[in-house]
Chain A
Amino acid sequence: MMHLPGYDYLKRLRTGDLDLSARKQAIEWICKASAYFSFGHLSICLSINYLDRFLSMYSLPRDKTWAIQLLAVACLYIAAKMEETMVPSSVNLQVGEPKFVFEAKTIQRMELLVLSTLKWRMLVLTPCSFIDYFLSKLCNDQYPSSTLIS
């Protein structure tokens, strides 16, 4: 429970209390940027986890449409720092022609806000954590070849 969005999060997205299309755009950007930098799928899962948890805990000002893009950048940046070896600078992370581009200082502040709102609980079990396990079970406890995984 500590690493999941609040129990009412889905309901709030459905009822329009939270902006579903804004979330969709944010996640699309995360996927686009991850693909650009060849980040692993765990980084994507982590970013989305951070994003959802943050949205369920913190009310972003709805009139500020840039806020969720800033959140997406910060989430992906933190996830990349957790998981990736090669991490671009925060400014350079903003690829794919997003509607808003932020300064490093702004991203840094958002990063800290995300970290503190999520109470520094950044180690999260994601579906990715189980892929290897089930794949090896499916393959008679032999680790499958990398082509099968990709």
Chain B
Amino acid sequence: MAIAGAGQLNLHESPCWGSRSVDCFEKLEQISEGTYGQVYMAREIKTGEIVALKKIRMDNERGFPITAIREIKILKKLHHENVIKLKESVTSQGAKDEQGRPGKCCPIPINNLLLGATKYSPAVDMWSVGCIFAELLHGKLIFPGKDEPEQLNKIFELCGAPDEVNWPGVSKIPWYNNFKPTRPMKRRLREALGNQEKAPATATTRRKGQTTEITAFTASCRLPPIQSGQAHAQMRPGPNPPLHGSQPPVAAGPGHHHGKPRGPAGGPGRYPANGTNGGFNHQNHGGGYSSGPYPPQGRGAPYGSSGMPGAGPRGSGGSGYGVGAPNYSQDGPTEVLVLDVALT
């Protein structure tokens, strides 16, 4: 991920910045449906440009979804031809969103959570990263289960069945006994991914190693999150949890670290050495990933049509929030993401 050079900076924001409604787009067809909204293929009426329109459901209790906030946060940092560009956020006025069905089976439901654990942790995120890694390597979904039991079974088939040996404490997880496999299953992740030699050999081998470690069953065997420190509050004060075995260098591109003050003296793209420097949970706390500079954009149109939420405490009303996002120079694919923020 390169930082845009001065000549590439997009200094001109759309004149209609922050004031557009979803009516500027004509929905063509639904492309997919995710956990928190639907994605449509749509055409911008004025320009005829084809975009992907992602509808974000607003939750009255939770406000603007945290997942969407983080998606925007990350998309704004990523400028790459293979990463979809966030072009604009638009609003739909007064649209009441129907509840969609729960997310289709994707690699995100995690062992721990599928088995009924309720505690979300960095280890859960690392599992997801491992699944995505494996899918990139594999070229398709690695755990294509239709429902949760089937998905768990797919996980067991590939990663081996969890037991007290490879995952101490697993038998205490609520649904373990309901779902534990009836026959022993061996871990064969390395073999399965070994057949997919799409990437250059060295890279493949290295990534395979990472995938294997990331998708290890237990948090303590999994690779540490790269910078979970600033993302996970509860990790901050504690010492680095002990990790077993040596940590391979991670093929993190410069993209993970662009423009940030570097914390400990670990080399680029390398996890901090275990236990010697305060641990990953302190690295660049607050720096780098979450707050590194991204290419500045020019100041847009005057702040116009936003309305103050109406009648005060316990009040309601207000309308016409203009919602916008920068549009980046189009040097990648033509897809763009339009967030449809439904105001309820």
Contacts and interface: CB of A to CB of B under 8 A. Distances in A.
Do A and B form a real pair? yes
Interface string B202-213: 000000000000
Interface string A114-127: 01110111111110
A28 interface: no
B321 interface: yes
Contacts, number: 204
Interface residues of B, number: 73
B69 A2 contact: no
Interface string A15-35: 000000000000000000000
A3 to B, nearest CB: 9
A10 to B, nearest CB: 19
Q: How would you classify the secondary structure of chain B's contact residues: helix, strand, loop or mixed?
A: loop
Interface string B41-76: 000000000000000001011111010011011001
B160 interface: no
Given A38-B233, A66-B313, A82-B73, A111 B291 contact: no
Contact of A108 (B64, B66, B291, B294): B64
B309 A144 contact: no
B247 interface: no
Nearest to A77: B63
A132 B307 contact: no
Residue among B263, B288, B308 facing the most chain A CB atoms (10 A cut-off) = B308
B308 A61 contact: yes
Residue among A58, A91, A111 facing the most chain B CB atoms (10 A cut-off) = A111
A110 interface: yes
Given A125-B291, A141-B265, A119 B326 contact: yes
A37 B270 CA distance: 32
Nearest to A46: B291
Contact of A82 (B58, B61, B70): B70
Given A142-B277, A145-B278, A132 B309 contact: no
Nearest to A129: B287
Contacts of A39: 233
B264 interface: yes
B268 interface: no
A58 B285 contact: no
Contacts of B231: 83, 85
B118 to A, nearest CB: 12
Interface string A52-64: 0000011011001
Nearest to A131: B286
A145 B239 CA distance: 9
Given A2-B296, A82-B70, A108-B63, 9 more contacts: A2-B297, A85-B120, A105-B60, A112-B91, A113-B308, A116-B322, A132-B263, A133-B287, A142-B265
18 contacts: A64-B312, A67-B312, A78-B69, A83-B231, A85-B233, A85-B235, A103-B314, A108-B64, A111-B63, A115-B64, A115-B323, A116-B322, A119-B300, A120-B76, A123-B76, A131-B286, A136-B265, A142-B264
